[in-house]
Structure 1
Amino acid sequence: MELNRRTVLTATAFTAAAAVFPIPNIARAAAPFAQPKLPFGEGDLAPVISAKTVGLHYGKHHKAYFDKLNTLSTGTKYADMDLEAIVVESAKSDADADKKIFNNAAQAWNHVAYWDQFVPGGPNRPQGEVATTINETFGDYDGFIKRAVDISDTVFGTGWVWLTRDDAGKLALIGYEDGKNPIAVGRPAYLGIDIWEHAYYVDYENRKPEHIRAVLDKLVNWRSVEERMAA
């Protein structure tokens, strides 16, 4: 079952209204959890992200999160939950076993959202009201890219930069270490930039800012992001 842009993403709302965002149907099923197919060919993101990087990132790292989650969740309360529920529930626990489940569930979920935002064929710049909001928040699209790079420097080691909302409900770019993500803290997740080294080192070595700029300048399908924001 392939992922498509109309079944893109979920997030527990950051407000008291607790609105729920739609997630990929493939991620709703209980264990065993199945990694969705890529919604594009491995070479379709080149030269920004090479086929070699996609093959390693998707075929090795992303797959490993699903495999490990299936092993860890067997016989636990998490086996009957959907992927989003596992992320939200396991984030509440300090138990070592739950932390391991969270790490793998969150990274499995993060990457489903990550690959889907690169579905080829959509505009690589926001349009309409979303463009207006981006410009009001960050000055312009170049300001948005610069802010993403700056936020990435606040993440020590591995992690993600997510377009989400802050505590006041305003659009914001926020950095999270390791596999943490907005839905774990009750916020929506609109766009995620993976800044783990496996996402860029083959192509960019230690030039992480160059990777972030290239991805945001050339690869993001803003129609997919806009659908998430409108959900």
Structure 2
Amino acid sequence: MLLFDDHELQDKTFSTFLTDDSKLAWNGLKSKLAKINIDAQEEFILLSFRTKQKLILTTNCLVSKFIDKVNQSERVVITSIEIIKNSTERETELRKTVSSGKNQNKIASLSSNVTKSKQLNLSFADIRKIRKIHDHIINNLDKPLSPLIELAHTFGTNEFKLKYGFKQLYGQTVFRFLINERLRKASVLIQHTDTSIKEVAHVTGFISAPHFSKAFKEKYGYTPRDLRKRSNNDDYL
């Protein structure tokens, strides 16, 4: 999102990339989380980052604190609720503003206006519902997807929030996410089990083996049978 290369991010603290105001907000949230003695806690916060070009990018973030029970240590994960495409578009607009010679106040104003137009109109409770829908899809890949309006109502939200919020959170539509997850699971089954291609298609929710093969090739560039042959050959290497 900030257009830094990987090596430029190494050994840098998270707050390094925040504006001064967001550093204060972030430190306040960290203090709050440190006082909460439960295994898991989540908070929603709006933070402003400095890009590689020293421009301001404001985005919604989901902060998750949990206890790593294996290492018995505390972990904090910050997820940007932002589609990368939107970030790139915003960066382009900001660059144009700089190139045209406009002052920094106008740059900040543009950043703020773009943020408002892109910002989720969702509460933290709404986001948790969408995440539950995400988990529901993952756990029911073999079943037909309910109409989105029914799916939304089942989890206590509405169709608009589901469609818009899901794309903001996961960068793709509900249907595209479902297909990609089905194909991912199918790829694992083909490579690591002896399940027939027809049965793989069935257990991953595709209506037929031909339909499955077509979708699989469109995503991976080769058919399920090609992958099975390749996997079998690798076993003998």
Normalised-by-shorter TM-score class:
under 0.3
Give the TM-score taking structure 1 as reference length: 0.25
Larger Rg: 2
Structure in which a larger fraction of residues adopt strand: 2
